[in-house]
Chain A
Amino acid sequence: MLDRIFVTFSVCFLVLLAVVVVFGDFIQPHDPLLQNFAVRDQGPSSTYWLGTDDFGRDVFSRILEGSRLSMTVGLVSPLIAAIIGITMGTSAAYFGGWPERIVTRLTDMMMSFDPLLLGVLVVALLGPGILNLSIAISFALIPSFIRLSRASALAVRQEAYVDAAIAMGRPSYSTIVRHVLPNISGPLVVMTTLWIGTAIRLEATLSFIGLGAQPPAPSWGNIVRYGVQNIFGSPLPALFAGLAITLTVLSFNILGDALRDRLDPDRTVR
């Protein structure tokens, strides 16, 4: 019962978030970049719902605007990672041989680094910025997708219906698309959802240490960063941006868990 309430809240929150991301321009009460030194470091008021930061910018508007960047990176990076990782993982499992060995070894190597460390590495090589940040996060997530899709595809590869498809003359790529992918989609959908949470967190972390979105453009990560630098001026920006991150990551994780329960083959009729 409590689970259902959590799931409902998560879904509602994510829908709300989607609206904010898409229609942000019309919702933001103030220009998120507009500085007004007359109202620095204010607390919540009817004009500035969540107060202002030390440049006098509206915190609420900045968090709404920041959601766009955070969510874009948070959604796009796992999707890119999923596409690349699943392609490599399923192909490796399906074809086997030396390409599989190379892919598995590379995956093992990449898995031995923390995703954050990999992200830092990529950004350090390519330079900070939102595109490089997405690349960095995708890169960090690819090994997990390779590993999961390869393991699942290996199991499906043993099923007689894959042999059947080959024996009736279906080409390899078509067998992968028509037979392998649909049968491993469950765990992959769940993992993609869970990694969205991680990607948002990674974006925030990398932006926090200055490797992500560059000011003045707000992202949740750099709002927290500059909020912390000015924590004695006003703790509100860091607090609320942190809250936004927490709620979003939590919502995606709860959603992922719910999806996993729903798509679990043991729970559905086979």
Chain B
Amino acid sequence: MNKLLEVTDLKKIFGGSVRAVDGVSFSLAERETLALVGESGCGKSTVSRLILRLTNPTQGTIRFEGKDITRISQGALKSIRREIQFVFQDPFSSLDPRMTAGEIVTEPLSVHGLVRNGRERRSTAERLLQAVGLSSKHVDNWPRQFSGGQRQRLGIIRAFALGPRLIVADEPVSALDVSVRSQVINILQDMQEDKGTAYLFISHDMATVRHMADRVAVMYLGKIVELAPKTSFFAGPQHPYAEALLSAVPASHPSKRRRRILLAGDPPSPISIPSGCRFHTRCPIAQDVCKSSEPPLKPVADNHLAACHFAQAWPIASRLKDVDAPTEGGRFDNVPGDLQVCR
């Protein structure tokens, strides 16, 4: 597999002490979807901002198509930015209220000088709007005249306007109603199939992740604790934290229920990260060794990495039933989101 994006030992420390991202490494192949999951504050959004170079990393490297883009200037970055686009979480804040829909979706093109005049810009805008199922009549509408789902579609088509190789999608559907979520996810999938774009898909919603991802990376307190292909991950997460996350997803049938693992308390502050394994303060199977030595992210099965001293020992024993097979490339039907994702 060709590595499109390669992130090595990425660190972001805010204000000298807040270790938001604390040594994250992963890579992303062309056309691949890597889901980055974790609870609020685990640093997954910071990772996306670092990759988009909206903030500079404290340490580590980001390579795009083999080229180190970690420290190059914003000017030199401009050509790379054509290849890396983004979809943000909040469809209300991510569209400038003082721009029309047409201006918004063609903004990347005009920034990169790819539309020559107003007429061309307008016809391109109409074409783009139609590509995500919006009417070309909407071209002069203001963002406030669209619904949340429509706005997010504007955001998506803006991301695809330049034909990027990679799209960083930071919780693109979590702000949407369940009823429009599946619609937007289908658009994201269709666009990916069409254009062959890779996604770094950031989410805290395991159902969406199961539907979208090829591989899953679980973050906890600024570090990746598990990184695995989707099938292998959903069949048997190796890290107790990943197991706990999965157990929080409601099952569609009582027989498919996992044993619910309740994590006590809040995640520790990224200002004072626990010694040893950073999860030991909340881990249901923590031993003495976990307090003193930090487990590395190491292979436990084919392409399946986990950072736990008891990786292989843990999941088999804990699961009540063997889990339902992941949905393979299935589409959502016209059923409200949450109901089908867990089938």
Say which one of B23-31, B107-115, B217-225 lies at the interface with A: B107-115
Query: Is B96 an interface position by the 8 A CB rule?
Result: yes
User: Which residue on A lies nearest to B52, using beta carbons?
Assistant: A167
Query: Is B78 an interface position by the 8 A CB rule?
Result: yes
Query: Is B119 an interface position by the 8 A CB rule?
Result: no
Pairwise interchain contact A160-B88, C-beta atoms closer than 8 A: yes
Pairwise interchain contact B97-A167, C-beta atoms closer than 8 A: no
Residues of B within 8 A of A171 (CB): 74-75
Pairwise interchain contact A167-B85, C-beta atoms closer than 8 A: yes
Q: How large is the interface on A (under 10, 10 to 19, 20 to 34, 35 or more residues)?
A: 20 to 34
Other-chain contact of A160, B53, B90, B108, B111 (Cβ < 8 Å):
B90
Binary contact readout B142-154 vs A (1 if CB under 8 angstroms, 0 otherwise): 0010000000000
Chain A 152-208 residues near chain B, CB threshold 8 A? 159-161, 163-172, 174, 178-179, 182-183
Q: A168-B111, A169-B111 are contacts. A163–B88 as well, Cβ < 8 Å?
A: yes
Task: Please report A residues at the B interface, Cβ cutoff 8 Å.
Answer: 159-161, 163-172, 174, 178-179, 182-183, 269-270
Q: How far is the CA of A151 from the CA of B213 in the complex (A)?
A: 41
Besides A160-B90, A166-B74, 13 new A-B residue pairs in contact (Cβ under 8 A), listed by A number: A161-B93, A163-B52, A164-B88, A166-B54, A167-B54, A168-B107, A168-B108, A169-B78, A169-B81, A169-B82, A169-B111, A169-B112, A270-B97
Q: How far is the CA of A167 from the CA of B166 in the complex (A)?
A: 13
Q: A169-B81, A269-B144, A270-B144 are contacts. A163–B107 as well, Cβ < 8 Å?
A: no
Q: How far is the CA of A172 from the CA of B86 in the complex (A)?
A: 18
Residues of B within 8 A of A269 (CB): 144
| Residue count of chain B within 8 Å CB distance of chain A | 29
Closest Cβ–Cβ distance, residue B324 to chain A (whole Å): 36
Which of A166, A167, A178 neighbours the largest number of chain B CB atoms within 10 Å of its CB?
Answer: A167
Binary contact readout B77-110 vs A (1 if CB under 8 angstroms, 0 otherwise): 1100110111011100111111000000001100
Residues of B within 8 A of A174 (CB): 111
Closest Cβ–Cβ distance, residue A209 to chain B (whole Å): 44
Other-chain contact of B54, A159, A163, A179 (Cβ < 8 Å):
A163
Closest Cβ–Cβ distance, residue B68 to chain A (whole Å): 18
User: Which residue on A lies nearest to B168, using beta carbons?
Assistant: A167
Q: How far is the CA of A212 from the CA of B46 in the complex (A)?
A: 56
Residues of A within 8 A of B85 (CB): 167-168
User: Which residue on B lies nearest to A268, using beta carbons?
Assistant: B144
Residues of A within 8 A of B158 (CB): 164, 168
Closest Cβ–Cβ distance, residue B203 to chain A (whole Å): 17
Q: How far is the CA of A269 from the CA of B142 in the complex (A)?
A: 11
Residues of A within 8 A of B81 (CB): 167-169
Chain B 100-138 residues near chain A, CB threshold 8 A? 107-108, 111-112
Residues of A within 8 A of B53 (CB): 167
Closest Cβ–Cβ distance, residue B171 to chain A (whole Å): 11
Pairwise interchain contact B111-A159, C-beta atoms closer than 8 A: no
Residues of B within 8 A of A270 (CB): 97, 144
Q: How far is the CA of A78 from the CA of B296 in the complex (A)?
A: 62
Pairwise interchain contact B97-A160, C-beta atoms closer than 8 A: no
Pairwise interchain contact A179-B96, C-beta atoms closer than 8 A: yes
Pairwise interchain contact B54-A160, C-beta atoms closer than 8 A: no
User: Which residue on A lies nearest to B93, using beta carbons?
Assistant: A160
Pairwise interchain contact A182-B112, C-beta atoms closer than 8 A: no
Q: Which 5 A-B pairs have the closest CB atoms?
A: A169-B81, A160-B94, A182-B98, A160-B93, A161-B96
Which of A163, A168, A170, A171 neighbours the largest number of chain B CB atoms within 10 Å of its CB?
Answer: A168
**Can you sample 16 A-B contacts with CB below 8 Å?**
A159-B93, A160-B94, A161-B95, A161-B96, A163-B49, A163-B88, A167-B84, A168-B107, A169-B82, A170-B111, A178-B96, A179-B98, A182-B96, A182-B98, A183-B98, A270-B97
Pairwise interchain contact A164-B111, C-beta atoms closer than 8 A: no
Pairwise interchain contact B86-A161, C-beta atoms closer than 8 A: no
Residues of B within 8 A of A170 (CB): 107, 111
Pairwise interchain contact A183-B86, C-beta atoms closer than 8 A: no
Closest Cβ–Cβ distance, residue B65 to chain A (whole Å): 17
Which of A163, A269, A270 neighbours the largest number of chain B CB atoms within 10 Å of its CB?
Answer: A163
